[in-house]
Structure 1
Amino acid sequence: MLTQTQYPCAGCGAAVEFAPGTTALRCPYCGAQTQIPTATREITEHDWARFAGLPRKPIALLAQHVFKCQNCGAQTESDAISDRCRFCGAAVVAEVDPGEQVAPEAVLPFALTRQQLRASLGAWASSRWFAPNGLKKVAEAESAKSTYLPHWTYDSRTVSHYQGQRGEHYWVTESYTENGEQKTRQVRKTRWHHASGTVERAFDDVLVAGTTKVTQEHLDAMDPWPLGDAEPFHAQYLAGHQTLRYDVEPEAGLEQAKRKIAPVIEQDCRHDIGGDEQRVEQVDTEYHDLTFKLMLLPVWLACYIYAGRTYNIQVNGRTGEVAGERPYSAAKITAAVAAAVLVVALIVAFFVLRR
């Protein structure tokens, strides 16, 4: 069962919110601040073998939870872990019951303030060639929503047994005829030998998105994340910000993690095979000491409407890296093409007149 938490201001009683770039809760009305307590525990990695044996309800079967605002008394239904009252805007945070779903173990708090967000969006909008002039309005950032996105991280020690071939180059002299003249040339060939072996590697914090609400392409564009700055989970970091509940089960996340790991292991196999060229035909990987955790990463979500279509934009809440879609201005593209044609015509005319 999910229970709800709100954090009242000690000065005026209003619901306080986590202030990005600080370690404090700030009242949006009177400005009073309350420091978030220093963590007394470390971030824990969960043993996968133990977790796999625990009874757990699939996330898709969990109902939305109902927030009852202590500020205005209104009720709001949401599948988010934290949100705002849809009537008065007060911050509400749900306490996750680990018996029903995996509870967050770590949070990377927001550091990018709304003012800094405007600067990041402004620089991004200004650098978009052929974008409509109205795109610069996205830099106002008033409609941007601060959102924590769930991510899985996986740690494992891997042992991989491979089968393949090692290619070694050698040169032969080849004769050929050119314009009736007999000539020779050196031709490179490759001699292949069977190869097999074992490689080992430890992986730490292999990151997989726990939500399908944001495209993987945009999430990848916001890399890298300073995961080392993550804090042990404390619900107060979520106050005043939306937090999405994961909709990718940890089992599905593990399969994605393995797909991210596979190219690294294949490269290790190629290095182990040696030679001038390598063929990796089969790799069997064992995963040892497999652990995982749920981590919340900060993202500013914004959107821009152009010609009846909505374009989504995301900004890394720590680094300010911007990722997203952008519209193209047909008028600007037409003008650029016309200008290019005019320049070519002038150059041609210049050379014609010089003759």
Structure 2
Amino acid sequence: MTDPSTADPAASRTFPCEACGATVEYAPSTAALRCSYCQHEQAIVPVLRQVQEHPFEELATLPAKPLATPGALQTFHCPGCQACTESDSLSVRCQFCATPLVADAAPTERVVPEAVVPFGLDRSAARKALRAWTSSRWFAPSSLKKVTEAETSKGSYLPHWTYDAATISHYRGERGEHYWVTETHTVTEGGETRTETREVQRTRWWPASGTVVEDFDDVLVPGTTQMTQKQLDKLHPWPLDEARPYQEEYLAGFQTVRYDIEPEAGLDTAKTKMASVIEASCRNDIGGDEQRVHSVDTRYSDLTFKLLLLPVWILSYLHAGRSWQVMVNARTGEVIGERPYSVLKIVTAVLAALAVVSAGILLYLGLRHS
């Protein structure tokens, strides 16, 4: 880990307002930077390049960088108040004057961001999404609906890896085909015994093998351990077609988390996701009524990757003296997170369900004896 006490302060990029000279920051859902003082907006000049996928073999040629160790601190030099701010992020606000600061990723990152999905929801829209979410929770205390404001809110870009691949898989398994047989059995009722027949389903299994081909595009894998993959998966789907070539302007005013999961490790997770799709393809190829897949041998080609930044609002709200945290997909408004439960409502619902089941059983028994 780099010792922050010996790190040289890096010149941090800021974006001055063309109208008043103050510092501007990215305005969500636009292609512009906005001044928080005079509200002037200035367009972000788009870069003349397309989002690119990088051959996976390229990783072997990338040199190590001095701050590439997860947790290493980068020192931001604020050009406004001249203060230094230490952070393990790529973009922050000055801790003294709140000026948006953006670092140049090239000197410190082994892999620099290739693309960014810009913020589509501003802070006000994120809080509105929180209010809608708290008011619609099942089995929540009635007082939760009164939560109308976030205690804290922070906009963050989270790093994700995307992977493309062409696969060819050879499988071995079995195809199951159903058939029916008639079975006889005896039934004793009211002291009388009688013979009845019933149709029973059986399955014949036949050996099966074959080859399936699947192409994968933008298999998404989190590049950070600051949130769990289970949490981030709940924020899906992401409009990846709205990704734009990486530009530092989109980061101004927001925190940008550096990746701490290397692309090689991310590929292992991506292959696990691909494997479930490949197995489904094998089962479809086997056909029949049921399938058993014993082995799958997959070969990958045209394997590419890129580093993508996705926008998330991290909010906390206060309820019953406790702070609860939620995350909001800053493009779609999807909300996931912690919430309280009402024990009384849950018990009442369980008792009501038991009452309905009991009434159904009594009705059934009454009809049988009528």
Taking structure 2 as the reference length, the TM-score comes to 0.84
Q: 1:26-84: per-residue Cα shift (whole Å, max 9, x none)?
A: 11111121100023100010100222343335943573110111111111000111010
Structure 1: which amino acid aligns with 2:51? I
Q: Quick check: 1:215 aligned with 2:228?
A: yes
Pairwise CA distance, 1:140:
2.2
Asked whether the equivalents of residues 149 and 317 of structure 2 are also in contact (C-alpha less than 8 Å), the reply is no
Structure 1 residues 329 and 273, CA, compared in 2 at 3 Å: closer, same or farther? Answer: closer
Pairwise CA distance, 1:172:
2.6
Could you tell me which residue of structure 1 aligns to residue 20 of structure 2?
12
Range that drifts further, 18-27 or 61-70: 61-70
Partners of 1:266 and 1:223 in 2: CA distance: 22
Pairwise CA distance, 1:216:
2.4
Q: 1:298-343: per-residue Cα shift (whole Å, max 9, x none)?
A: 111111344665422001101111111112356x649x749x79xx
Partners of 1:77 and 1:63 in 2: CA distance: 10
Pairwise CA distance, 1:137:
6.8
- The CA RMSD over aligned residues, in Å, is 2.6
Partners of 1:138 and 1:74 in 2: CA distance: 37
Q: Quick check: 1:299 aligned with 2:312?
A: yes
Q: 1:203-243: per-residue Cα shift (whole Å, max 9, x none)?
A: 10111111121232332222111110110000000000111
Structure 1 residues 156 and 318, CA, compared in 2 at 3 Å: closer, same or farther? Answer: same
Structure 1: which amino acid aligns with 2:149? E
Q: Quick check: 1:157 aligned with 2:170?
A: no
Match among 327, 331, 334 for residue 318 of structure 1: 331
Partners of 2:68 and 2:254 in 1: CA distance: 21
Partners of 1:3 and 1:62 in 2: CA distance: 20
Range that drifts further, 180-189 or 24-33: 180-189
Give the 5 Å matches for 1:123-134. 123-132=132-141
Q: Quick check: 1:31 aligned with 2:20?
A: no
Match among 208, 211, 214 for residue 201 of structure 1: 214
Range that drifts further, 186-195 or 100-109: 186-195
Partners of 2:37 and 2:142 in 1: CA distance: 35
- Percent of residue pairs identical: 56
Structure 1 residues 12 and 305, CA, compared in 2 at 3 Å: closer, same or farther? Answer: same
Give the 5 Å matches for 1:1-355. 3-57=11-65, 59-60=68-69, 63-97=72-106, 100-132=109-141, 135=144, 139-141=148-150, 143-179=152-188, 180-306=193-319, 309-329=322-342, 333=345, 337=348
Pairwise CA distance, 1:174:
2.8
Asked whether the equivalents of residues 147 and 319 of structure 2 are also in contact (C-alpha less than 8 Å), the reply is no
Asked whether the equivalents of residues 24 and 34 of structure 2 are also in contact (C-alpha less than 8 Å), the reply is yes
Q: How many residues align?
A: 341
Could you tell me which residue of structure 2 aligns to residue 351 of structure 1?
none
Could you tell me which residue of structure 1 aligns to residue 366 of structure 2?
none
Partners of 2:338 and 2:301 in 1: CA distance: 40
Asked whether the equivalents of residues 117 and 141 of structure 1 are also in contact (C-alpha less than 8 Å), the reply is no
* Unmatched tracts of structure 1, length 5 or more: 345-355
Asked whether the equivalents of residues 114 and 141 of structure 1 are also in contact (C-alpha less than 8 Å), the reply is no
Asked whether the equivalents of residues 27 and 33 of structure 1 are also in contact (C-alpha less than 8 Å), the reply is yes
Q: 1:116-173: per-residue Cα shift (whole Å, max 9, x none)?
A: 2222111111112454566457642462111111111110011111111111122233
Runs of 4+ in 1 over 6 A off after TM superposition: none
SS in structure 1 opposite 2:47? coil
SS in structure 2 opposite 1:223? coil
Structure 1 residues 82 and 281, CA, compared in 2 at 3 Å: closer, same or farther? Answer: same
Asked whether the equivalents of residues 151 and 317 of structure 2 are also in contact (C-alpha less than 8 Å), the reply is no
